[in-house]
Amino acid sequence: METRVLPFSDESVEEAARLIRAGEPVAVPTETVYGLAADATNAEAVARIYEAKGRPSFNPLIIHVFDLAHAQAIADLGKQSLELAGKHWPGPLTIVSPLKPGSGIAALATAGLATIALRMPNHRAMRALLEAAGTPLAAPSANASGSISPTRAEHVVRSLSGRIPLIIDDGPCPGGIESTIVAEINGGLRLLRRGPLEIAGAVEGPKGAIEAPGQLASHYAPSKPLRLNAADASADEYLIGFGEVAGDSSLSPDGDLVEAASRLFDLLHQADQSPKPRIAVARVPEEGLGAAINDRLRRAAAPRQ
Ligand code: TXA
Ligand code: MG
């Protein structure tokens, strides 16, 4: 794939919005770092972020919104969260809140969690793209897995050239450090990631407090035992298929890893809710996005403490 680098302009933003609507990820600067943005409501588009970054695991992503109304359409922001949003948005603050049912956000974007990390960015390029694309944008930093966060278009070129169709170049990012992340839990503010903003009263850790059941489990895992590399199912198993293994449902009948990644969390939830007490999953090849899929499946299969 040829990667174009275009300076920020009405035309480049329109081209980026067209690519976003077509399900492609596009690199765009924010006030913190360059982000690799994709339509957060399109699971395959989100899967392509992971494919481009070559990230060996799925983590919940930060979802960027144009304004507070969009944030409130997606999530239930608590009283303190709304105060923080009023004070710091648009800006380098990410707020984790309960996801609203029917929000339309792809489960892969939140890694299957019942909460969502939202941020209203303050950079003309990202804001113009949010407006032109007309959809919330999932955007982690625009670098390949394991390399440092990009603060200039050249950094993105070095890291992701050939893997994404377009980079919007609007010069160096003014910030350079990824946003501060907070969550409102039981009336208190938790600091989940330090960043450019100091949030008065936000308490760091202990991690256990935010990972208690029903709160902010950092990773979704089904509640039932899960068996990997299954060729077929026993009577008490719900089988998630892949390729030739059909199953009760399939990650991808054609063996397409982008499709498989895009369906992973939906099917894990479906299997968890089925009447069968156990889950089996067909073998997924350990290549490309398959590595991230298998990482998540192995965690889901690991015995619980
Ligand atoms: O400055 C930034 O925030 C940059 C620019 C591009 O906007 N974006 C960024 O996104 O850093 P990302 O997706 O790499 O950040 C992911 C972080 C992880 O630490 C993840 O654990 C946390 O956000 N996160 C996302 N959803 C979460 C949730 N539901 N609960 C707790 N943490 C969450
Ligand atoms: Mg990052």
Is pLDDT above 90 for 304? no
Q: Which residues are registered as beta bridge partners of 193?
A: 181
66 in Cβ contact with 131 (< 8 Å): yes
Kindly state whether residues 120 and 63 are assigned to the same domain: yes
pLDDT confidence bin for 147, thresholds 50/70/90: confident
Band the pLDDT of 217: cuts 50, 70, 90.
very low
Query: Which tokens go with 156?
Result: 């993105």
User: Does residue 49 sit in the same domain as residue 195?
Assistant: yes
Q: Which residues of 86-97 are buried (b: 16+ CB within 10 A; e: fewer)?
A: eebbbbbbbbbb
Does 237 lie in the same domain as 178?
Answer: no
Q: Which residue has its alpha carbon closest to ligand 1 atom 16?
A: 61
Q: Which two tokens stand for residue 122?
A: 């303050």
| Residues 149 and 295 occupy one common structural domain | no
Q: What is the pLDDT of residues 248-268, one digit of tens each?
A: 999 999 999 999 999 999 999
Task: Please calculate the CA angle 56-266-51 and round it to the nearest 5 degrees.
Answer: 30
Quick: pLDDT tens for 15-33.
999 999 999 999 999 999 9
Q: How far apart are CA 290 and CA 59, in angstroms?
A: 15
CB of 294 sitting under 6 A from ligand 1:
no
Q: Which band of pLDDT confidence, cut at 50, 70 and 90, is reported for residue 215? A: very low
Q: Give 255 Cα–ligand 2 centroid separation in angstroms.
A: 29
Within a 13 Å sphere around the CA of 46, how many CA atoms are in the beta-carbon half?
Answer: 29
pLDDT recorded at residue 186:
86
| Atom number, ligand 1, closest to the C-alpha of residue 195 | 1
The answer to whether 8 and 26 have CB atoms below 8 angstroms apart is no
Whether residue 47 is contained in a domain is answered as yes
Q: Which of 32, 59, 77 has most ligand 1 atoms within 8 Å of CB, for mutation?
A: 59
128 is a domain residue: yes
Residue 219 lies in a domain: no
Amino acid at 243: G
Give the containing element (helix H, strand E) for 227.
strand 226-227
Same domain for 282 and 135 = no
Quick check: CB of 181 below 6 Å from ligand 1? Answer: yes
In a domain, 275, yes or no: yes
Q: Which atom of ligand 1 is nearest to the CA of 62?
A: 13
| CB 143 less than 6 A from any atom of ligand 1 | no
Residue 167 has pLDDT above 50, yes or no: yes
CATH of residue 67's domain is 3.90.870.10
Domains contained in the chain, number:
2
Tokens of 204: 């760091």
Q: What confidence tens digit (pLDDT) does each residue in 98-146 have?
A: 999 999 999 999 999 999 999 999 999 999 999 999 999 999 999 998 8
The neighbour count for residue 267, using CB atoms within 10 Å, is: 23
- Both 139 and 20 in one domain: the answer is yes
**Judgement on whether residues 186 and 292 belong to the same structural domain of the protein:** no
Q: Is residue 218 part of a domain?
A: no
Choice among 19-33, 68-82, 203-217 with the minimum mean pLDDT:
203-217
Question: What is the rounded CA–CA span in Å between residue 17 and residue 129?
Answer: 6
Residue that finishes a domain, picked among 182, 211, 240: 211
Instruction: State if residue 60 touches ligand 1 by the CB under 6 angstroms criterion.
Output: yes
Domain stop point among 184, 211, 238: 211
Q: How far apart are CA 77 and CA 118, in angstroms?
A: 10
Task: Give the number of other Cβ atoms within 10 Å of residue 123's Cβ.
Answer: 24
Gap from CA of 144 to ligand 2 centroid (Å): 9
At residue 212, the pLDDT reads 42
pLDDT score of 214:
41
Residues 99, 231 within the same domain: no
Write down the pLDDT at residue 218.
Answer: 55
Mean residue pLDDT of the chain comes to: 94
Answer whether residue 39 is part of any domain: yes
pLDDT in tens, 39-66: 999 999 999 999 999 988 999 999 999 9
Q: Are strands 62-64 and 115-119 parallel, antiparallel or unpaired?
A: parallel
Residue 195 DSSP one-character state: -
Can you give the pLDDT at residue 203? 92
In a domain, 217, yes or no: no
Which residue range forms the structural domain that includes residue 45? 4-211
Asked if residue 62 has its Cβ within 6 Å of ligand 1, the reply is yes
Domain match, 202 and 286 both? no
Joined tokens for residue 100: 């609203």
How far is the CA of 302 from the CAs of 117, 152, 163, 237, in angstroms?
Answer: 26, 40, 33, 17
Contact 248, 239 (CB under 8 A): yes
166 and 284 in a common domain: no
Same domain, 236 and 106: no
- Please identify, among 211, 236, 258, the residue that sits at the C-terminal boundary of a domain: 211
Q: 230-243 burial string, b = 16+ CB within 10 Å, else e?
A: beebeeebbbbbbb
pLDDT at 198: 95
Residue indicated by tokens 């979704």: 220
Distance CA 257, CA 262 (A): 8
Nearest ligand to the CA of 145 is 2
The C-alpha atoms of residue 268 and residue 263 are separated, in whole angstroms, by: 9
CB of 117 closer than 6 A to ligand 1? yes
Ligand 1 centroid to Cα of residue 95, in Å, is: 9
294 and 175 fall within a common domain: no
- What is the C-alpha separation between 28 and 294, in angstroms, rounded? 29
Residue carrying the six token digits 């029903």: 214
Using a CB cutoff of 8 Å and minimum separation of 24, what contacts does 229-234 make?
Answer: 229/281, 229/282, 229/283, 230/280, 230/281, 230/282, 230/283, 231/282, 231/283, 233/280, 234/278, 234/280
213 CA → ligand 1 middle, Å: 20
Within a domain: 13: yes
pLDDT at 97: 97
Distance 185 CA to ligand 2 centre (A): 24
Q: Is residue 122 lining ligand 1, measured as CB closer than 6 Å? A: no
170 pLDDT higher than 60: yes
User: Which atom of ligand 1 lies closest to the CA of 178?
Assistant: 1
Tokens linked to 183: 């969550």
